[in-house]
Amino acid sequence: MDEIPKSKFKLKGEIIQVVRGIAIYQTGASPYWYARIRDPNKKKYVVRSTNETSRVKARQVAQEISQSLIKQEPTPPKEYTFKYYANRFVASGKRMVENGERNGNYIRTSRLMLDNDNWGLMKTFGHMDIRELRTRHWIEFLNNLSKRRSDLSTSTRNMLSATFRNVMKEARQDGVIDDVPDTPRTKVKDNPRPFFRFYPLVSKEQDAYQKLLTVAEGMADIGVVVRSTTITTELRDIILFITHSFVRPITTELYALRHRDVTVAQNPKRLILTIRDGKTGYRVSNTMEASVSVYERINIRYPDADPDDYIFLPEYKNRTTAGKIIQRQFRALLTSCGVVDDPFSGGKHSIYSLRHTAICMRIILSEGKVNIFNLAKNAGTSVEQIERFYARYLPLSAEMAKNLQSFTDELKPEIKIQVEDKNGDWITVKKFDKNTKKIKTEMTAAKKKFKNCRIRAIDENMNLLDLKTV
C-alpha cells in the first residue's frame, strides 16, 4: 500500500510557549515562525506570521503583535457592526424580490459583492463599527484592492461601491448614522460590445451572422454531438429568435418563455412577448417578423405543447441546465465557424453577442430611422446604454446619425431632474420644458427633498447640464 504523503502544513518541531496566551511554531509550508495569540477583545485565538526565520526575533515579534491587539478598540456590539446591517440589507432585498419590486439579480449581485472570499466587503468591513466608518476607510479599501486585484473591472468596483452605500443607508434609516460616507466612483471605460458583423457592414462573403446560420444548419443535418446532446435545428431557431426578438439569452428571459407568454399579432406581423422577470424587470416586447416563422416551427416541433410548456428545450425543467446545453452547442458552433474572437472589439463572442447583433442590426438596417427610445424600451435597456455601447461604435452616415438622434413629437425638448438610486441608476423625478430659471429652482428643490443623494440635470439628448453656465 502506498504511503500517504505528509502535509506541508504539518508542524515542524514543537509549539513553543512564550508567555500565557502567546506561542510560536513553524510548519513545513513556510520558513517563517507563526504566532498564536489570544485576542482579549474577540475572546479567541488569532494566528499571524512573524515574517521572521529566527526563533529569538519571532518571540519578540509575537509579543509586539499581542500588545497591538490589546491596544485595539473593543469589539463593537453586534447590532452596530457592518455585518449586522449587511444582513439587514440582504433580508430587505429578498422581500423586495418576493414582492416583485426588484429583479432576482439585484440581491444575487449584492451578495456576491458582500461575500466574495477574495475581495468581498464583509472580509474588510464585517467586524467594524458602522458608526465609525468614513470615506477614508472606503478609499483605503479601494487602494488595498488595487494592489491585490488589479484585474477587477471598473464596473465591479462601482458595484462594490453601490453595495457599500446600500448597507450604510440601512444604518441611516435606523438612525444609527446621520450621513452616508461619500464613495467616489471609478470612471467606467466604455468598450464596444462584440457582435457578429453582417451585410452591409461587411461584404456578403464576410457576413459572420449568415455564416453562423449556415453552419448551424449543417451541424444539425449531420447530428453533431456536444457533451452527449445532439445539435438539432432548434439551435438555428434560437439564433434567429434572439436576433429578431432582442431577448437576453438568460434563464429569466429567453429560457423562461412559455407558450402562454407568446402572442402572434398582425399589422405588422410579429410576436408579442411577455418577459415576466427579466434583467430589468417586467416588460412586454415586440419582435421582428422573422420570429413568427421561428414560433411556427416550434409549434410543429412540439405539437402537443401546453400553455405552460417552455418554448425552447421544454424537456428540461431545470432552465439553468437548458441554458448551459445551448451555450455549449453555441461555443462548438463558434469554433466550427472560426469566429470565437471578435477582431473589432478585441473581445470574445458568446451567445450574448446575438443580442448585441440584434440591436446593431436594427440601427443599421433601418438606416438610422428606428426610434432609439422605442428600441431601448423594447430591448429592456436604456437610450444611454445603446448610445454608449452600440451606436457610437457603428459606422453611421451623416443622415443615419441625424435620424438616430431624432425623437418623435411626443419627446419635445425638455429638461429632466434625476436622482441616483441604490443601484447607481438615475431615476427621473421631474420633467419640464427648457427654461433656464426653472432649472435652478427645481435643482434646489430636489436637493432639499433628496438629501445625501447625487442629483443631475440633463436635456432630451441625455447631455449633462452645467448649472454654472445656464
Domain boundary assignment for the chain: 16-71, 78-173, 204-404, 414-459
The Cα-based distances of 376 to 41, 183, 381, 382 in angstroms read 55, 30, 5, 5
Residue 469 scores a pLDDT above 80: no
Average pLDDT over residues 348-363: 92
Integer Cα distance of 431 and 201 in angstroms: 38
Task: Give me the count of residues in the chain.
Answer: 470
* Residue 256 binned pLDDT confidence (cut-offs 50, 70, 90): very high
- 199-216 pLDDT per residue, tens: 888 888 999 999 999 999
Q: Which three cell numbers stand for residue 90?
A: 440582504
274, β-bridge pairs: 284
Q: How many CB atoms lie within 10 A of CB 147?
A: 7
Q: Which of 95, 115, 116, 114 is nearest to 168 (CA)?
A: 114
Q: 414 — phi, psi (to 5°)? A: -155, 170
Residue 304 scores a pLDDT above 50: yes
- 133-153 pLDDT per residue, tens: 999 899 889 888 888 888 888
**CATH 1.20.120.350, applies to 204-404:** no
- 92-132 pLDDT per residue, tens: 988 888 887 777 778 889 999 999 988 899 989 998 999 99
DSSP state of 27: B
Integer Cα distance of 154 and 145 in angstroms: 12
* Residue 271 binned pLDDT confidence (cut-offs 50, 70, 90): very high
Q: 199 — phi, psi (to 5°)? A: -70, 130
pTM above 0.85, yes or no: no
Residues in CB range of 95: below 8 A, 6 or more apart: none
For residues 311 and 264, is the Cβ–Cβ distance under 8 A? no
